[in-house]
Amino acid sequence: MSTTQSDRLRGLLEPLVHAKDLDLEEIEVSRAGRRGLLRVIVDSDEGVELDACAELSRAISEKLDETDAMGEGEYVLEVSSPGADRPLSQHRHYVRATGRLVKLQLTEAAGGDEVIARILTVDDDGLDLEVPGVKGRKPTARRVAFADIAKARVEIEFNRKDKKEEEA
């Protein structure tokens, strides 16, 4: 997708997304056979309900029908939330992942280590983490600055207790 098309789509769709109290995370345009594919990824602090995606999809479809932003050809529109294993790249992603287990790849300057830990708190400078203990040892605390993170991704936990479960 060209930068001008990306910028134009972002400018066109961002007000619709914000009107639904969502954040526009990503816009991706590609080819799917003869048709184009427009994938719009949205998120919020509370997550995204399926009904919200459906409502937003209708609003985006109407707006795109009024313009020539997708050109003359046929296209498929997909509106969804980010996958559970999407990369964490912005401050709000880390805030939303508080309490979750993450895999961090540190920069070479920070040692280049891979760290798997639970995010306890997030501030403007970095993360306070709880590194799980190995072989019966107690977890340890660790501080990582955002500048020291090369890549980060949420680790999927199948036996993770839900916050509501913990409060009960």
Residue 71 above 80 pLDDT?
A: no
Task: Find where tokens 């995370």 sit.
Answer: 25
CA distance 157 to 41: 22
Average pLDDT over residues 95-103: 91
User: Per-residue confidence at 135, pLDDT binned at 50, 70, 90?
Assistant: confident
User: Per-residue confidence at 164, pLDDT binned at 50, 70, 90?
Assistant: very low
Residues with Cβ within 8 Å of residue 148, at least 6 apart in sequence: 106, 107, 109, 110, 126
pLDDT of residue 168: 45
pTM recorded for the entire structure: 0.72
